[in-house]
Chain A
Amino acid sequence: MEHEKLFWQNTTRRTFFKTTGLAAGRIALASLMFPDLFGSAKAQTPTARAHPGLPGLPHFAPKARHLIYLFMNGAPSQIDLWDYKPGLADMFDSDLPDSIRNGQRLTTMTSGQKRFPIAPSIYKFARHGQCGTYVSELLPHTAEVVDDLAVIRTVYTEAINHDPASTYILTGNQIPGKPSIGAWISYGLGSEADNLPAFVVMTPRWSAKRDAQALYQRLWGAGFLPSRHQGVALRANGDPVLYLNNPPGVAPAARRTMLDGLAKLNEATFARTGDPEIQTRIAQYEMAFRMQTSIPNLVNISDEPKSVLDMYGPEVTQPGTFAASALLARRLVERGVRVVQILHREWDHHGDLPRDLPLQCRDVDHACKGLILDLKQRGLLDETLIVWGGEFGRTVYCQGELRHDNYGRDHHPRCYTMWMAGGGVQGGIVHGETDEFSYNIVRDPVHIRDINATILHQMGIDHNRLTYNFQGLDQKLVGTEAPAFPVKTILA
C-alpha cells in the first residue's frame, strides 16, 4: 500500500507538470495558482517548485518578475495630464483643421457635431526631475518621480468605445472570450507566491461623479485558458477573497477537526479507487486552510510603519481606496504574487472635465509616487514593472459647450499616453511625439499590441512564443493578425 501511494504521489506530480507543460490533456491534477501545493513533497522533487510555469519559460532572462498594472478605466485625458501642447493656448475655440482630423472615425457622440472647437488644457504644465519631462499640475506627486518613468506619448488603438477598447488592451481582442494579460502571465510563468494566487485584482472606489464606465470580469478572466489563471479579486469589504472566512461560529480549530476527518475519508477513497485526483483535492483543501491565515496577514497593514504609510498619502489607511490598493500591491509583490492589477474607474470626461479630472488625479497621484518609492527602497522596483494608463485617449476638440473654465473631450484612439516604471524600463525618458494638437502621431507609434509585447518581454516572455492552441489556432495575447514589437527604445 505504501508503495502504491508513493507511486501515486509521484504520478500526480509528474502528470501535473506534464499536462500543464503540454497545455493539453486533463489539467485538473493540480493548481498552478498555488505552487505550494507540493510543498510537502519538496524534499523528494526539489525542482517541483522551481518552475511552476511552463517548461522553457521564461524564454530569456526576465527583467521583471512582477507586474503591477494600474489601469485607469474610462480613458484619462492625455492633453490635460501628459502631452503638453503650449501652442493650443492661442487657439481657444478655433476649429480643428480638417487636415488634422482627416476622416477620422468619430464616435456617434460627436460625429453629429457641427464644429470641432479646440479646447486647450486649462492646466499648467512644468518641467520636472532631471529629465525635465513636462507633467501637468494635476499630478504633482507623480511629477516628483518622473525620473523613474518612461512616458509613452504615442500609444494608439483602433477601438473607439469603452467596452471593446478595454477588452482590447487587456485581452488583446475587442471581442469577449480571450484571456487577460494577467492570466497569460500566470499561465506562462506560474507563481512564486506561497499560499497566494498568481494574479490578484483590485477595483478601488473613485471620487468623481457616480456614473462610471463599467468593468467586466473578462478584463481579468482566463478566457480559454484553464480557469485557475483568472485574476482573483482582493476585496475591500467582506471576505478579502470570496468565501475565505469560515462561517460564523466556526473557529479555526473546528475547521481543522473537519479537515482532519475529511482527509482521512478521502485517503480511504483513494485507497479504494486509486484516482490521483483525490490526492490533489486533499492538497487543495490544505492550501485553502493555509490561505485562511495568509490572506488576513496580507491585508492587515498594522505592521507598516508610519513612514511607509505616509508615502502613499492620507487615504492609505482607508480600505478600498486606490492608495490602500497600491500598498497592498506592494505587499502582494513582496510575497511573490506575479501580477497585480488595480482598475480605477471614472476617467471618462465627456463634459465637466475640470470638475472631475482633478478628483480622479487626486485619487491616484500620491499613491503612484508612494508605490514607486516604496518598491525602490526595498530593492523591488528593479524587478517589478509598473504600467499606468487607460484604453484610449481624448480629443483636443471640445465635446458639448466650450467655455474658458469648462469643457469635455470625446474618445480619441489615435494617440494617448501611458507610462511604465521599474522592471528594466528606463526612467526619465519620453517616447514618441504627437502633432501640435495631440491628434496624430508624428514619430514612434506604439500600438497597444506593442505595449503588451513590451510587458511580456520584460517578464522574460517572447510574445510570439507564449501560445495556446484553441480552436485550431495558436492563440497569443498580441493576437494573430498583425505583428507586435516590444518598444525596445524605452528599455534600460
Chain B
Amino acid sequence: MKSTWHKPRPGLWPALFLCAGLTSLEGAQSPVLFNRDIRPILSDTCLPCHGFDANKRKADLRLDSLEGATAVHNGHQAIKPGDPAGSEVWRRITATDPKIKMPPPDALKKLNAEQIALVGHWIEQGAIYQKHWAFVAPVRPPLPDVVRTNWVRNPVDRFILATLEAKHLQPSPEASKETLIRRVTLDLTGLPPTLAEVDAFLADQAPDAYERLVDRLLKSPRYGEQMARHWLDLARYGDTHGLHLDNERSLWPYRDWVVRAYNDNLPFDQFTVWQLAGDLLPHPTRDQLIASGFNRCNVSTSEGGAIDEEFQVRYAIDRVETTSTTWMGLTMGCAVCHDHKLDPITQKEFYQVFAIFNNIAEHAMDGNALLPPPSMPLPSPEQEKQLADFDNQKASLENKARDIAQALHYTDPATVTNAPKPEPKEFVWIDDDFPAQAEVKADGPPVQWVTAADGQVFSGKRALRRSGKDLHQVYFASSAEPLTVHAGDQFFAYVYLDPQDLPKSVMLQFHVSDWANRANWGDPDAIVYGKKGTTEKVQSGELPAAGKWERLEVSAAALGLAPGTRITGLAFTQFGGTVFWDKAGVVSVDDPAQDPTVSLVAWEKAEHGLGDQSMAPQEIKELLDKKPAKLDEQERQKLKDYFLTAVYQDPGSNLPPIRAELNALKQKRDALEAEIPSTMISKELPKPRTTWILVRGQYDKHAEEVGPGVPAILPPLPPCDVTNRLTFARWLVEPQHPLTARVTVNRFWQQFFGVGLVKTAEDFGTRGEWPSHPELLDWLATEFMRTGWDMKQMVRLLVTSATYRQDSAVTPELYTLDPENRLLARGPRYRLDAEELRDYALDVSGLLNLKMGGRGVRTYQPPGIWEAVGYTTSNTAKYTQDHGDALYRRSLYLFWKRTAPPPTMITFDAPSREKCWARRERTDTPLQALVMMNDPQFFEAARHLGYRMLHEGGADDAARLRYGFRLATDRNITATELAILTESLNAQRERYNGDEAAAKKVISVGESPVPADVAAPELAAYTMVANLLLNMDEVVTRN
C-alpha cells in the first residue's frame, strides 16, 4: 500500500480523548505499560503488516520498535513520543476517512475506543517501548509489602495477597482438613487419599501436619506417575508410530524413565539435558540414553511412496517445535515458511535451530517396525547375567568343537584325483510325515492322511489325500531340516490321480526365501500362481496317468535352483480333483566332491554370494563373499576352521552332538533376547546432515545453507567445538536464559491452580498472555534456579502456600469479578483429568492395580474403534483386550494408539499425543456423563464399591451409605445427603428385588468374578448407589 503522510488535524485529540470511554481505565494518569497494555494491541492489529516480517511489511513502516516507529517518512513520524497530535499513527487510528483510516476498513481486526485511548495515553506518556518481557532474563523482585502478614505462609502468598489487597479483596479461609488432604493427594499422586490417611491427618494436631503430609506424598511412587502424566503430553508420547500404518513402537521404557526421574527428583536442568541430549553426554548411562527417547516420540511414517527427505524435514521441524514449546513457550514453527510475523524470530534462525535437531541417526521411513533404529536393549541384571552365561557356555562348546576339528585329518574330496564316479542316491524328505518342525498349513480342505485301508498308499504306512474344488493345497514354508541343492539334483514326488475325479493340474512348489519356483503338470492356466515360461511356473508335463501311482520329476536346474540353495518348504498343489500324494524328495548324485557338507571347496562355492541366506556368522559371511583368489592365508584358515567346526559332516567325529548343543543354546539365547525389552533412543549422525533454509518450508526448495544457531533475541550459545543438541540443551538451562525457568514454573502453577500465571502456557511470545502476576512468575523462576532446579522443592513451595490451601467456595460478587479465579482470592476447583477419573473409580472400589511400568495395557474398549480406522495390515488394526489384573492398571499405562486413542481418555480432553501439548481443555459434555455412567470400567468399579459398602460399611443401610459416601468423597455425609441416598437405595432395592434377572446382569458387568456371598438384588441396588456416588460433582471435581 502506498502511503502518504499528512500533518494531523489539530484539535482532534481532546475530543476523542473524551469520547474514548476512559471509564474502564484506572484514570488517565496511571502509567501505560507497553508490554501489558500496548504490545497486545500492536501484535493483534498492527504488526501483521507493520512488524518484523520484512516480506509482509507495508509502507516500509515498522511499529515493533521505537526506531522504526519514530523514523521520519516524508517529514512525518508514525509516533512522536509525547505528542499524539504530531503522530501519524494517532491521526490514522482516529480518522473517519476510509482512505486514511487505520486499520483499513477491510481489515479483519479493528481497534475499539478503549484501545485507541490507550495508544493515545501511551504516546502522550512518551511512547516508551519495552523489550518483550519474556525475552528479558528474570530478575528476582523484592517481596511486596502486605497488610495481612499473618495470612502469609510463604513468599508466594506475599505476591498473591499484595494484588488482592490492591483490589480491596480478602483471601478465603483455609479449606477443611478433609478437603485439603483430598486436594493435595489428588494433585501430587493422581489418587484420592485412603480413609486411614484421612483419619491420620484429622488426628494430627501438630502445626506442621499438612507439611508432613506433603512430604509423605512427595515420597510416594505415585508422585512420579502423576507428574509424568503431564510431561508425556508435552513429549507427545504414544505407543504407535502415529502416521499411516500406525503400528506399535516400543518407547515405554522412556515413559517409565520419566516416572523414575520425577520420583528420584532429578534436577530439572539434568532432566532437560538427558532428554534432549542424553546420548551426547560423555559415557552416557543407560538412563541417559533412555531419556534421549524424548526426541524420538514424534510421529513417523513408512507409507509406501513417501519421500525420505520430506519426512526427514518434518521430523526435525517437529523436534524444534516440541522443544521450543516445552522449554521456551515459543511458537518457532511459525518461522518454518517465513520470518515470524509477531515474534523476533527469522526464518533463518528457525533453520539454525533446525540444524541442531536435523542429525538424528534414524531412517526417514520407520519400517513400521517396533524398534526403528537407533534403539537399545534393556536387559535386567538377571537377564544380563543369563546372557553372559550363555555366551560363556557357547565359547567353551566352540572351543571344544575347534579342538576336535583341529584334530581331524581332513582331506577335501574335491582335491582328490581319480576318485570313483559317484552314484545317484535318493533322499526322502516327506514320507508318512512332514519334516521335523514343519509348520504345515492347508488351503481348502484340511490335511488328511490315509492308510492303505482307506485310500491309496505308495510307500510306508500312509499318504496324503487331497480332494476339493478349484485351487487347493497343503504346504509348509519352513522346517528344521531344509534340503540343500546339489548340482544335478532331481526332485520327485509320487501322485495317484483318482480317475473318477481328475484334477485339472497338479503342481510342486518349492520355498526358498519366498514361493517362486514351481513345476506344473497338466493345464498350465488352471493354477494361477507364477508367470508361465519362467522358473515361477515350469511346465513339466501332461497330467499324469490316473488310477496308478506316477512319479513326478523335475530337475533343480530347470527350476532355476542353484547348488547350495536351501529349500525350506514344499507345497502339493492341485486344481480340483482327488489326488493322493506320497513319498517326495530329491535324487542327488552323492559326490563328496560336490557336497558342501563334505567338501570345503564345494561349501565355499555354494555359500559364495548367498548374503543373508547364509547361516554363517557375519565375519565368515564376509569372507565367503570375497573372491577366493583375494583371500589371504589367515582368512583361508579361518574359513577352514569354521567349516570343520560347524559344517563338515564327518561320520566318525564327535562334532554333531556338540553342534546340537550349540544349536539348542542359540535357541535359548534367542528366546531370552526376544523377552528383553528395547527402547528407541537418540544417536547423532557422525557427519551432520546439511541444513538449508527451505523456501516456504518446502523440503526440496533449498536456499541458503545454514549451520547451528539460536535466535538473536535470546542469549548466544556458549562457544564450543561442535554445536549440537548437547550445546543447545545446556544453553536452555543457563541461568541467563529468560524463558526455560519461567515456562517451567508456569506449568507447575497451571498444574496446581488450574490456569497458569501466563494462561497461554504454550506461548510466551508477544501474543501470549500478559502474566496475571509478573513479579511472582519472575520470583518463582529465579527461586527455581536458585534451588538448583529442584522440582520437588518447587512443588512443595506451591502446595504449602496459603494461596493453595484456601477454601474454594465462591460468592456471586467474587465470581462476577473473577470468574476464572486468576486473582486467587479462593482455592482452585476444577474437574479431574481423564486419567484421574478412571484411576479414582478403580481406587475407591478397591480394584486398582498399582503395578508400575511396562508395555501399554489394553483395558475394556467398545468393539470397532481401532477397526474403524486401522490400516488392515497394521498390527494395531484389531484391538485385543487384556484380561485379569491388567484391566485395572493406572491410566498412565494404557496402550496409546495415536490414530485412535483410548475413547474414555479422549472424551475427557486428553490430547491425541500426535504433537506436543502444553495445556488441556476442561470441557463438560453429555458424552462424558455417558462414560461415567455406562463404561464397563466405571460400572464394574461401582459394583465393587457397592460390595465394599455391604461388606465393610457396617450392619445397616445408614452405616453402609455413610461409609460409601466417605470412600467416594473423603468426608462425612450430611443428614440431607444421607436421606437422598437412602431414598435412592430403597427405590433401586425395590426394583431389583422384583427383578432378580436384571439384578444378576447388573452385577455381572466386567470380567472380575461375581461375588457369591451376597444376594444379587442387594448388590445391584448398592451398585446403582455406588454408580451415583462415582458420578457426583464432588467426586469428579478436585476441590
Contacts and interface: CB of A to CB of B under 8 A. Distances in A.
Contacts of B343: 472
B991 interface: yes
Contacts of B981: 261, 265
Interface string B847-886: 0000000000000001110001111111000000000000
B744 interface: no
B712 interface: no
A203 interface: yes
Contact of A4 (B760, B812, B1034): B812
Contacts of B923: 27-28, 31, 226-228
9 contacts: A25-B820, A28-B923, A108-B304, A108-B307, A213-B871, A227-B923, A245-B934, A265-B1028, A472-B768
Contacts of B314: 175
Given A203-B869, A284-B924, A285-B1031, 9 more contacts: A26-B922, A109-B304, A237-B864, A241-B927, A249-B1000, A262-B1032, A266-B1034, A273-B810, A472-B766
Contacts of B820: 25-26
Interface in A12-39: 15, 25-31, 33-34
Q: Shortest 6 CB-CB distances between A and B: which pairs? A: A107-B305, A249-B1001, A261-B984, A472-B767, A249-B1002, A214-B871
B874 to A, nearest CB: 7
Contacts of B306: 107-108, 161
Interface string B809-826: 111100110011000000
Contact of B108 (A277, A281, A465): A465
Contact of A212 (B108, B871, B999): B871
A489 interface: no
B924 to A, nearest CB: 5
B696 interface: yes
A277 B820 CA distance: 11
A379 interface: no
A255 B939 CA distance: 12
A232 interface: yes
Interface in A261-292: 261-262, 264-266, 268-270, 272-278, 280-282, 284-285, 287-288, 291
Contacts of A226: 921, 923
Nearest to A249: B1001
B991 A217 contact: no
B984 A163 contact: no
B924 A248 contact: no
B844 interface: no
B924 A277 contact: yes
Interface string B306-318: 1100000010001
B485 interface: no
B331 A471 contact: yes
A281 B1033 contact: yes
A292 to B, nearest CB: 8
Q: Is the interface of A mostly helix, strand, loop or mixed?
A: loop
B87 interface: no
Nearest to B997: A249
B915 interface: yes
Given A226-B923, A245-B934, A257 B868 contact: no
B831 interface: yes
A226 B245 CA distance: 27
B869 A273 contact: no
A210 interface: yes
B178 to A, nearest CB: 13
B929 A284 contact: yes
Interface in A43-80: none
Contact of A262 (B342, B909, B974, B1031): B1031
A452 B242 CA distance: 25
A283 to B, nearest CB: 9
Interface string B489-533: 000000000000000000000000000000000000000000000
A366 interface: no
Q: How large is the interface on B (under 10, 10 to 19, 20 to 34, 35 or more residues)?
A: 35 or more
Interface stretch (B463-471, B593-601, B898-906): B898-906
A471 B922 contact: no
Given A260-B984, A410-B305, A210 B872 contact: yes
A108 B305 contact: yes
A214 B899 contact: yes
A249 B936 CA distance: 13
Contacts, number: 292
Contact of A266 (B244, B768, B1033): B1033
Interface string A188-214: 000000000000000100000011111
Contacts of B873: 211
Nearest to B342: A472
B762 interface: yes
A288 B862 contact: no
Of B809, B863, B921, B1005, most buried by chain A (CB within 10 Å of CB) is B921
A177 B914 contact: yes
Given A238-B864, A248-B1004, A254-B991, A265 B871 contact: no
B245 A273 contact: no
Given A161-B303, A260-B984, A287 B872 contact: no
Among A233, A237, A247, A481, the one with the most B-chain Cβ atoms within 10 Å of its Cβ is A247
Contacts of B1028: 258, 261-262, 265
Contact of A265 (B812, B931, B1032): B1032
Given A215-B868, A238-B863, A410-B305, A471 B244 contact: no
A469 B861 CA distance: 34
Interface residues of A, number: 98
A15 B819 contact: yes
A471 B980 contact: no
B925 A284 contact: yes
B1033 A274 contact: no
B991 A253 contact: yes
B871 A247 contact: no
B690 interface: no
Interface string A455-486: 00000000011010101111000000100000
Interface string B1000-1039: 1111110000000000000010001101100111101101
B977 interface: yes
Given A265-B1032, A268-B977, A269-B1034, A254 B988 contact: yes
A492 interface: no
Contacts of B574: none
A178 to B, nearest CB: 10
B416 interface: no
Contacts of A4: 812
A203 B930 contact: no
Contacts of B341: 473
Contact of B980 (A203, A214, A233, A265): A265
Contact of A275 (B242, B808, B868): B808
Nearest to B754: A26
Contacts of A464: 108
A400 to B, nearest CB: 13
A8 interface: yes
Given A249-B1001, A275-B829, A288 B930 contact: yes
A376 B1024 CA distance: 48
Contact of B246 (A211, A214, A250, A469): A214
Contacts of A285: 926, 929, 933, 1031
B812 A274 contact: yes
A249 B1020 contact: yes
B862 A243 contact: yes
Contact of A244 (B304, B830, B930, B1039): B930
Contacts of A241: 927, 930
Contact of B925 (A33, A248, A269): A33
A177 B810 contact: no
B976 interface: yes
Contacts of A94: none
A108 B307 CA distance: 6
A453 to B, nearest CB: 15
